[in-house]
Amino acid sequence: MTSEIKAAIEQNDFQRVKVLVEAIVEQHTNTFNFDTYHADNTFKQLWESMFLCLAADGYKCIHKQCLTCIRLLSRDKTHLKEIIIEQHVNILLQCANLVEETLCIVITSENTDVIVEGLKCLCNIVYNCDTAQEVCCSNNTVDCIVLRLRTYFEQNIPYVIKYFDIKLLFLLTAFNKDIRLKITEELHGLTYLTEVLDNILRDTIEDASKNNSSSLQEDNVLLSCEILKTLFNLTVIPISESSEEDDYSIWIRLISILRDLLVTSTFVPLFQDNIICNVVNLLTNVPPLCLDQLLVKSHWCDVDALKVIVNFLDTRLCSTENPLYENISPALMVLLKGSRSIAKFRCEVRQQILPPLKDVINRPEQGNTLRNKLCRLLTTPNVSLRDLVAELLFVLCKENVGRMIKYTGFGNAAGLFANRGLLCKTSNPDYSSDSEDSDTEEYLTYKDQINPVLGCYEPPKPNPFECMSVEQQEHEVMQLVSKMDKLTREGVIQPCKIGDDGRPKPIEHVLQLQEELMNHFTNIKNKDGPDDDSD
């Protein structure tokens, strides 16, 4: 079929080329691997034939079909780097109206389909090929995209063009660090992207007042998510080093929009997870002190934005017994950053995660509350996730060891205490007063019978040493030491003792424990005193 296309091109038979290309497109609509085309060099010939048509003005009537064919072929990156050249990228940019700033906003009903297909091809090629990334980052591509997005609502540009413009911008900012600085500092892209988000929200609120519905439309959700992902790439580095005041004002405006997006997302269950996920990811880049904007109530809805984030975390924890770090870490990071920096923020989060303790019968890790779910993660094999959860809970406890033990149990929190050197300390009083720490009736009732290691009430048990003499107790302990020695020599365990810095220190030999135990029992005997035979 490739030879037929070539012959039709040579004969300027546009209609024949169109029919042949449409047949290929129909056949490979769901194809992502073109191995059969690579075998006899058909792939390269077809690729070059399509660009030959795109380069010729006389073939404008079939440009859309040729671009669709290129888009399908560009899904297969097997030999893409070998066949794509700068000229190919420039041709696609021309089709997408991203070459000249004066023409990038000239969009009519006649060229819309070609622009969309050109953008789709660029997205595929930029994603799969370094050459395309370099070309697009060294010319006027981002200048044209930013210029066009500035006119999105003035020129009534079709949604599909907006969507793929932003998608292309997201890919370029993901792969090229230098282009991020150009977009933020030279082109003020952060401001313009924020304005697009703001306009989407305003339209949503306006529709809500007219139609009694506050839900985002599907198109607006998808476009908002692409903008949020692009903003994330742009804000991984500081927004601006020139003016901290401008920097702060940009963040305040952006966070107020993100807050309203969180609130709005509660009315669109189908897309709620997608919106919240991208908002939370972006919030991880926010300066901590700016997070107080999440505590401000939206002017058009009474939903608590911070509670939306906490509920999102809860939902993610419910989805699987072993949540992935990347699925829940952004929400944990946002809550941790805000709780460390803002007292009111910490108080709000604490009320939702660690409310006054009433369940003292069950272990902290047993149950379906958010506290229970997070306590279960304190012993997860995923070290990064475990440490992040422990840090959040510790900050919510005002870094007070006793309070942490109360809510999580010493067994669950031992890893955190060991890492921080807190095994022989009680608290780190760098927070405000303890006024928010109130013991419930349930806790006070069982307080003296709560096992601090388990973190819950434990019924009294008979003392196994009660009927033993000190010598018998010493014998049992030495038996235990002997077994520990065996496990140590076999490499099963590594006994430790607490050092002066509050961290566990490995011992060289189990006899070190034996010596301490002997001293312990000697002290007991001396305390009891010798038998009095005077009578």
User: Tell me: the pLDDT tens digits for 41-81?
Assistant: 888 888 998 998 998 877 788 899 999 999 999 998 888 88
Predicted TM-score of the model (pTM): 0.84
Average pLDDT for residues 19-48, to the nearest whole number? Answer: 86
- 197: pLDDT strictly greater than 60: yes
Least confident of 180-184, 338-342, 450-454, 462-466: 462-466
Average pLDDT for residues 335-342, to the nearest whole number? Answer: 95
Average pLDDT for residues 19-42, to the nearest whole number? Answer: 86
The pLDDT-based confidence of 248 (bands split at 50, 70, 90) is confident
Q: What is each CA distance from 499 to 423, 425, 507, 520, in whole angstroms?
A: 9, 12, 10, 18
Distance CA 36, CA 308 (A): 50
Q: Is 125 helix (H, G, I), strand (E, B) or coil?
A: helix
**Among 224, 238, 229, 136, which Cα is nearest to 185's?**
238
- 214: pLDDT strictly greater than 60: no
pLDDT (0 to 100) of residue 176: 92
The pLDDT-based confidence of 428 (bands split at 50, 70, 90) is low
**Among 124, 231, 107, 108, which Cα is nearest to 168's?**
124
The one-character DSSP state at 242 is: S
Average pLDDT for residues 190-205, to the nearest whole number? Answer: 88
More confident residue, 84 or 9: 84
- 509: pLDDT strictly greater than 60: yes
Average pLDDT for residues 219-236, to the nearest whole number? Answer: 93
pLDDT (0 to 100) of residue 280: 97
The pLDDT-based confidence of 516 (bands split at 50, 70, 90) is low
* Number of neighbouring beta carbons within 10 Å of residue 450: 19
Q: Which residues contact 481 (CB under 8 A, 6 or more apart)?
A: 510, 513, 514, 517
Least confident of 16-25, 170-179, 362-371: 16-25
Average pLDDT for residues 2-14, to the nearest whole number? Answer: 75
CB 157 within 8 A of CB 107: yes
Q: Which residues contact 66 (CB under 8 A, 6 or more apart)?
A: 21, 50, 51, 53, 54, 59
Query: What is the pLDDT of the chain when averaged over all its residues?
Result: 84
pLDDT (0 to 100) of residue 243: 45
CB 26 within 8 A of CB 17: no
Q: What is each CA distance from 394 to 280, 286, 339, 461, 504, in whole angstroms?
A: 21, 22, 10, 31, 19
